[in-house]
Structures are given as structure tokens and as C-alpha cells.
Structure 1
Amino acid sequence: MSLLTTLARLEAVRSGRAEPLATVRHRHLSERPMVVVPLAAVGEDGAPLAVLLGTEREAPKLFIVPQPLNRTQRFEFLAAFAAELLPYLESFTAEVEQVEGSEKDPETGEKIPVLRDLCADAPQLLVPNHGAVRHLALLGRSTRFRRTAEDPDPGPYPAPTQVPLLGRWLTHLTDRAQVPGSSLLLPMTGLLARHWATGQSHLEDQHLAAQLAWHFPADGLTGAEAAERAETGRDEHGRLLHPPAGPVTDPRFDAQVLAPAITRHDAALAAFRQAGPDGTDRAGLHLKQAAERLHAALEAELLPTWRDVWQGLDLLRTLPPATHLPERWEGDRWSYTGHRDRLAAGEPPQPRRDDAVTAARKLAQREREQARLDIQEALDDPLVMAEHRLSGEAFSGTVLAVEPGYDTSGRSPKPRPLLTVATPDRPHADPGREVHRAGGPSAQKAEIVRAVPGEVTVRVLSGMGRRKEPEPGSVPEVGERVVFTLFELSARQSAPLPEPDDTPWTHGGPPGADPRSPIGTEEWE
């Protein structure tokens, strides 16, 4: 936790309300997001119990598993879930735009220009918290390899046709959620915690209702008191007023409501199956009533969290979008387009375990995206830049003097002006250290010449054009506000990795070379 975040949490405790950590919104918000509130059976995070989802606040759709231990009912639930979610995920595949790119010629090895399709937009799923992301990842892992009746060897329990496709989409979305700055799948608690600080711990922030209580405390209550009431408040039956529902359930709800409702439904289903011709109508009525009571109980458990997610979405929309958001969203669109193309090409599902090269590439990508996210957030948001200033990684101030200077070591002199900046910051600025100007010409570098308390002198090294005199506007003027960072303003590219077929034997050998290899062909089964 940074110093500024710690100070903001302390201020939230003092003021009794959430305090801002950002002045802009650092994550993309779709105009038509899909809100998904999953619920898991107690003791089994990967066993689905219910899901409430939809793109309209007033029209959620609920799908339940009346008996989580029943394989057939579980597949029926997943098929209904897929029938609702897949059309939304696939609705963005048709509209594309042409983007210029390049690729290597297989014969000459030279780069040739090509036009690639990029989906004009991409879906976005919003879930209550990180536990819901893990639950969706488990659902994806358990369903993407399922055999269906259309397969040559469907097995004894074939799944509905759409279930493996649902698993592949959930796996892609949850994998992409691990990439810093991605917005295809977002937990609402993480979104709020990125932009506001509450006076409670990170673990307590995983309860969405308690986190929102710091933003909207009831009259006469502090944020801490409102959060405690939201987290522990119970009705006359002892059940939570704001169940977490993402994806865990309240134990008292399980004991007092859910378990009896499931038992009644199981009994009604058994009676319906055993009923003779004369009792079918009556048994069918009892089964319908039991199903409706179970449906109503689960809906009541999920609706508070459903409303909380939409309330958090309204709160986030009050912040203006950050400047670099479109660039990061374009990366999500490329990820979505790539998965669309893999499905269309008939490629097999994602393996259970990545081979060495794929795992290394994922790690390198996430490290690169984290570095890029840190840089872009600092450039977009003065509050984020303030964290770097407090840690000595940047300094901001006013230009006191500009002295012309030149480098005459080459054929022609090059401009090297000296800037004296008055700053209250204390950067870790040893003489000769390279610094980078934020908000100036692209990739403008400088070096520290002298640093004393309240004043730093730098020599500008680049970003001034190729002429003897600096281009107009490339050098700050006296009285201008400037910001310099001690870190680079662009993420470095990682070293190239070998192709999977060239993986050395020390890392498992070429995929499929050894049938016993953990990255062999059996991983696609």
C-alpha cells in the first residue's frame, strides 16, 4: 500500500466517508455492460447454485440449479446460462474495422503490409467481487472440455451443445482479467477500491455493500458504522440484510431457507415421477409451487447485490474517463477479436496447463501491461503522479530560469538547455541521473545536473528537433509548470521467446513429443 493510499484511508476514518484516490476513471465502462451475479453451493466454489444476469437494471434474469448434486439439472442450468450470455458475447463479432498491420513473408522473411479485422467494440462483464471472477474461472475450466451429443464419442453424460462454448468464453474472459488494465471482466469491488479509499481493510472491501456504505452512509452514521450495519445487519429471522452473494451465501439462509426449499423441491420431484395417471396434475402443481418458492428465495438473496453493482456503476460514471483508456480498450478489442477468430477456425479449447513458452509469454505480457498501466495512470491523473512524487520517483515545479547550452562534440552543435526548477518535492535525483518530462514532447529526456532542497537543475537532451535551435514549444519557458519522472514513460519490450516447437528439452521439449509430457496432446482432451 502506497503512502498516499494510507493517508487517504486515514482521512476516510476521520471524515467518515470514502476519499478519492483518482481524479479520472482508469477503467473502461461499456455503454451496455452485462452484470453477472453468480451464487455457488456451500462448500463447493465450483458448483453453481444460481446466477442473476442482464444488461438492464430493471430486467434481470435468474437461472437456478434446484439440486446442485444433480448432474442433469446442473447441465440444464449451464445451458440456460449459455443461452442468455453467449448471444451478448457474440453480438460484437460482426461489426469490424480494417486496421493496417504487418506480418512476415513465409518465403522471404520480410515484413509485408496487411489489413486486419478488429472488432469495433467488445463485451464487458461486471461481477460483484474477485470471488465471482474465480467462480466463473472454475465454471469455464469444468465445462470447456465437456463432450456433447454431437461429438463422435459423447460418453455417458453428454452436455448440451452450448456448454463447452460457454466454458471457452468464460476461460478467455477470466484469463484476460489477469492482465493489468483490462476491462473485459471487472469486479465492482476492485473498481471502487481503485478510485476511492475507505477506512477499512482490503479484505473488508470485498463485501460490496459494506464498501458502498462508505460512499452513501445513512443519515447520522459514519462510514464505519454504515459498513458494519451493511455487513452484519440481520432481519427478524436472523438472516443478513445484505448477503454478499458473490459467490458465497449466508449460512443462516442456507439452514433456514435454502436447505428446506431444496428438500421440498426434491420431494415434489420424486412424487411427480412416481405419480400415476390420476395424480400427475396434482403432483405437477406441487412441483411447480416448490420450484417457484426456491426461485423466489434465491432471487431475494441475489437482488441486493444486483442493485449494489448497478449503484457502483452509477458512481463510477461520475468520473471523467482517463486519456489513455481508448488505447487500453483497443487491446481488449484485439484480445476479443483473436478469440473470435480462434473459435471460427475450429481450434481446440484452451489447455488445462500452458506450455513453457505460452506461460512465459503470458507472464511477460502481464509484466509489460502492468508497467504500461502504472505509467499511463501517472500521466493521466495528478493524484497518481502525487504518489510518485511522495516516493521520490518524480518531481513537479515551476521553471525559474532557462539557460541556452549546446553540445559541440559532434559535427554540428546540438541544443542542450539548462532548466532550473523550483520544487517542494525531494526526488532521488543524483547528478547524471536520467529523467523524463511528462506532458512535454514525446520521449523528451533530460539529466540531473544539480539538486538541492527546493531546486533542481536539469539539462534537456532530446525532443527539441534536429536543428541548431530548439523548435518552438519544445523547451519550457520561465514560469511554466513542469513534471519530470525518474522512470521511463513507455514500457520496454521483453526479450523474444522461442516458438513452442523450439522449446528446449529442459522446459518439457516440443509439445506432443512425449505422450507423457504435461504439455502434450492429452491436455486438449
Structure 2
Amino acid sequence: MSVMTELARLRATATAEAEPVTTVRHVHLEAEPFVLVPLTLAGEACAPLAVLAGTDPATPTLLTVHQPRDRAERFRFVERLAGLLLPHLNERLADTETYVTGAAKEEKSRALLAPQLIVPNGEGIGWLGRLGRLTRLRAVEGPYAVSPDVVLLGKWLTWFKDRSELPGTTVLMAMTRMLAGHWATGRSSAEDSHLASLLAWIAPPAGLTGAAAARASEDPALFPPAGPATDPVFDATTLQGLMAGYDEAANDRARQGFAREMDRELMGQVLPTWGAVWRGIELLHELPEGGHVAERRQRDRTAFSAYGAYLVEDGRPQGRRDQAVGAARRLAGLEEAEQLYQVQRAFDDPLVMAEYELTGEAFTGVVVGRDPDRLDDSGGRPKRRPTVTLRVTELPRVSVSAVVRSPARRGHPAEVKAISPAGRGGFEVLLEITGGLGRGYRQPLPPGTVPEFGEELTFTTLDPAQHPSRLPATENTPWTHGGPPQPYEPTADDAEEVWA
């Protein structure tokens, strides 16, 4: 947890109101996200009980399993879920745009819109990942065959789960994590995983403080858990009796009666959470979108299209375990994405950048000097090198010769030439602008290249550009590391993995 977030938590504790920790929204929100509110049977890691799903807050679809311990019923549930989600994915794969990439200017296509799955909390993401793991390797022929749609859904859910671990991605998100990333409450991170009380802190009803509203929202009778685990009291007093009645029913008519009653009770458990997720979406929409959000979403669209094409051209499922080469590449990708995401957030948001000012990786000052016509003639040919002097109140903890950038002038990197004391405890930082200067020293500077007197600017050593790792392509893996890995081939044993 950052220092700024911790300070916001302390302030929220004192005021009993949630404190914003960002000035912009750092996640993309689709116009029609696909919301899922899952429930699972207590004591079973991945026995689906119900899911409320859809893209319209007014018309959700409820899918239930009346006997989750029955293997056939569970796979019928997954097949019905595939009937909802797969058409949604196909619609987005159908509409594409052409773009040019690489040094060879190769033309490729990608989806205009990528899907966006939103679940109430992080446990919901884990549940979808387990559901994908336990369905993508099933056999579509033989004594325990499942529908091909079940297998296809499993592949997609595994892709969503893997992609969700990449910082900055927005194809699969948990509402509690999104809200906690933009507001701080006066409680722990673990307590912020309770969706109803987190929303109460952020947007309490009239006449109540956030803390008071949160306490009222922790009553499971009024605000059922957001899943996927159900309320133990509901299990003992309601669900257990209905499942027993369903199993022991004397005829189909009686069994259907128990099934309808179970559906009504399960709808009562998931519907409040369904409304809470959409309320969270509304609150996030009220924040302006950060400058780098569209760029990250574009990468999601590219990855989504690439996996859709892979399923058509190859279609083999992800392996049960990563191979060594794949794991190394994935780890490098996660590290790069984390670093890039944090830097981009800082460039988009002054509240986030303030954290880097505390660590000495950024400083803010007022322009007190400028020399837009300065030339550097130390080499064989003069180069235009304007300078600007900033007055700062705190000693910047950056070294002379460090390259710095300003979020307000991203195309004009500068080099720190000198840091010197100034009157009344301040300091002056001399910066030499080294980029974005146009062509040739005889040509006029592009407008706005050199800051004006009195302009307040923040500079940082952070670099928002992406610097990919230098790992060789998979097919060029050296023999010292086992050579190019063989593609994963599913086996009969893979299809026997139990639902646990």
C-alpha cells in the first residue's frame, strides 16, 4: 500500500467518509459490459450453484443447478452459460479494423470492441478460472462426453483469467478491486472485499456517513454475500432443505416445485449483488478516463483478436501447467506490464504522481528562467538545446544528468544540468530540453516547446514508453534451455481432472 493511500485511509477513518485516491478513472468501461454474479455450493471448490448474467441491468438471466453434486447437471449448467457468453464473444470478433504493425508494416486486423467481464469480487475471478480449468480439457466424445461449447467456454474462461493477471488489462475485472483502486475507506483491504459495505462507504444514503452505512450493509439478511460462497445461515435454513426436497421428491411435478422455489431463493441471493455491481459501474463512469486507458484497451483488443484467431486456426487448449519457456515469457510480460501500468497511472493522475514526489522520483516547480534560443555548439554541428529553470521548495532527489519528463509535455524529455540552492530555502533546477525540437537548429521551434515564465510543471524520472524484454522468440529458444518447446497436446488423463 502506498503512503498516499494510507494517508487517505487515515483521513477516511477520521471523517467516516471515503476519500478519493485518484483524479481520473484508470480502467476502461465498455458501454455493454458482461456482468456475472456467481454462486457456488459451500464445501465444493467449483460446484456451480447459480449465476446471474447479462449485459442489461434490467434484464439479467438466472442460471441455476438444483443438484450441484450431480456431474451431468453441472455440465448442463456450463453449456447454458456458454449459450450466453459465446455469442457475446462472437459478436465482438465479427467487427474488426485493420492496423499496421512492426518494422515490416504488416497489416493485421483486430476487433473494434473487446469483451469485458465484470464480477463482484476477486473470488469471482478465481472461480471463473477454476471453471475454465475444469472444462477446457473435457472430452467431446466417449462415455463422459460434453458439448463442444463447454470445452470452448473453458478455453475462453482460462484466457480471461490469465489475461486478468496482467496489470492494466480490463477484459475481466472485479468490482471491489476497481472501487478500492479509486477510493480509500477507513478500514483494511480485506474488509474492502465486501462489495455492499464498500459501496456504502463511497456513496452512502442521505443522512448517513459512509462508516454508518457500511455497518448497516454488513447484515447478510439484507445484503447477501457477493459470492461465490453463499451465506451459511441461508445454506442451513433454506438451501439444504430445498435440495433435500428436490432429491427426495416423489414425482417430477413435486421436483419441479422444489426447483422453482430454489430458483426464487437463489435469485433473492444474487439480485442485490447484481444491482451493486451496476451501481459501482455508475460511480466509476462519473470519473473522467485517464489518458493511457485507451492505449491499454487497444492492447486488450489485439490480444482478444489474436486468441480468437488461434482458436480457429489451432484450437488446442492451454496446458494444465505452463512449460518453462512459456512461464518465463509470461513472468517477464507481467513484470513489464506492472512497471508500465504504474508509470502511466502517474502520468495520467497528479494524485498518483504525488507518491513519486515523496520517493524522490519526481519534483514540481515554477518556471523562473528560460532560454529558448540556446544552441549547443560543443560538437561538430550546432544543436538546438533550449533550457528552462524551475524553482522548487524541496531538494530534488534526482542526479545531475538524469533524464526527466513532464506529464504536461510528454514529447519533450529533458536532462538535469544543475541543481543549486536559491534564496529562502528553495532550490533551482536547470533543465536542458533534448527532444521534440523539430528539424535543424535554423528552423523555428514547434509551438509550446519551451515552458513559459510562471508555469508550474512536474518532472519525473519515470518513462511511460514501453520497453519490451529481450527474450528470444519461442521458436529461437536456445538448446541450453531445452530448445523450442513442443506444443501442448491434451491427453486422456487431462479429461479426468476432478471438480474440486
- TM-score, normalisation: structure 1: 0.88
- For 1:423 and 1:465, the matched residues in 2 are separated by 29
Q: Displacement of 1:58 after TM fit?
A: 1.5
Partner of residue 414, structure 1: 383
Local SS of the residue matching 1:92: helix
Note if contact 1:349-1:524 (Cα within 8 Å) is conserved in structure 2.
no
Q: Which runs of 5+ in 2 are unaligned?
A: 496-500
Aligned length: 487
Note if contact 1:210-1:228 (Cα within 8 Å) is conserved in structure 2.
yes
Please state if 1:292 is matched with 2:260.
Answer: yes
Note if contact 1:394-1:486 (Cα within 8 Å) is conserved in structure 2.
yes
Q: Displacement of 1:166 after TM fit?
A: 0.7
Note if contact 2:325-2:485 (Cα within 8 Å) is conserved in structure 1.
no
Report 1:86-485 matches (<5 A): 86-102=86-102, 112-148=104-140, 154-231=141-218, 233=219, 240-268=221-249, 271=250, 283-403=251-371, 405-440=374-409, 442-452=411-421, 453-463=425-435, 464-468=437-441, 471-472=445-446, 473-485=448-460
Question: Which moves more between the two structures, 113-122 or 167-176?
Answer: 113-122
- For 1:409 and 1:501, the matched residues in 2 are separated by 44
- For 1:327 and 1:425, the matched residues in 2 are separated by 34
Aligned-partner residue type, residue 120 of structure 2: P
Q: Displacement of 1:70 after TM fit?
A: 0.5
What percentage of aligned pairs have identical amino acids?
41
Note if contact 1:357-1:499 (Cα within 8 Å) is conserved in structure 2.
yes
Note if contact 1:35-1:55 (Cα within 8 Å) is conserved in structure 2.
yes
Note if contact 2:329-2:471 (Cα within 8 Å) is conserved in structure 1.
no
Local SS of the residue matching 2:459: strand
Aligned-partner residue type, residue 139 of structure 1: L
Q: Displacement of 1:258 after TM fit?
A: 0.8
User: Cα deviation per residue 1:330-375 (whole Å; 9 max; x = unaligned)?
Assistant: 1000011011101111321111112222212212222222222122
Local SS of the residue matching 1:117: strand
Q: Displacement of 1:425 after TM fit?
A: 4.3
- For 1:521 and 1:255, the matched residues in 2 are separated by 41
Task: Note closer, same or farther for the CA distance 1:344–1:15 as it changes in structure 2 (3 Å cut).
Answer: same
- For 2:338 and 2:390, the matched residues in 1 are separated by 30
- For 2:486 and 2:368, the matched residues in 1 are separated by 66
- For 1:286 and 1:82, the matched residues in 2 are separated by 29
Q: Displacement of 1:16 after TM fit?
A: 1.4
Question: Which moves more between the two structures, 19-28 or 465-474?
Answer: 465-474
- For 1:502 and 1:380, the matched residues in 2 are separated by 38
Q: Displacement of 1:156 after TM fit?
A: 2.2
Report 1:10-89 matches (<5 A): 10-89=10-89
- For 2:375 and 2:324, the matched residues in 1 are separated by 50
- For 1:258 and 1:426, the matched residues in 2 are separated by 64
Question: Which moves more between the two structures, 168-177 or 44-53?
Answer: 44-53
- For 1:90 and 1:198, the matched residues in 2 are separated by 39
- For 1:161 and 1:412, the matched residues in 2 are separated by 68
Local SS of the residue matching 2:181: helix
- For 1:357 and 1:119, the matched residues in 2 are separated by 28
User: Cα deviation per residue 1:31-72 (whole Å; 9 max; x = unaligned)?
Assistant: 011110011111223221111101111111111111111001
Q: Displacement of 1:426 after TM fit?
A: 4.2
- For 1:33 and 1:75, the matched residues in 2 are separated by 25
Aligned-partner residue type, residue 198 of structure 1: T
Task: Note closer, same or farther for the CA distance 1:471–1:211 as it changes in structure 2 (3 Å cut).
Answer: same
- For 1:296 and 1:37, the matched residues in 2 are separated by 15
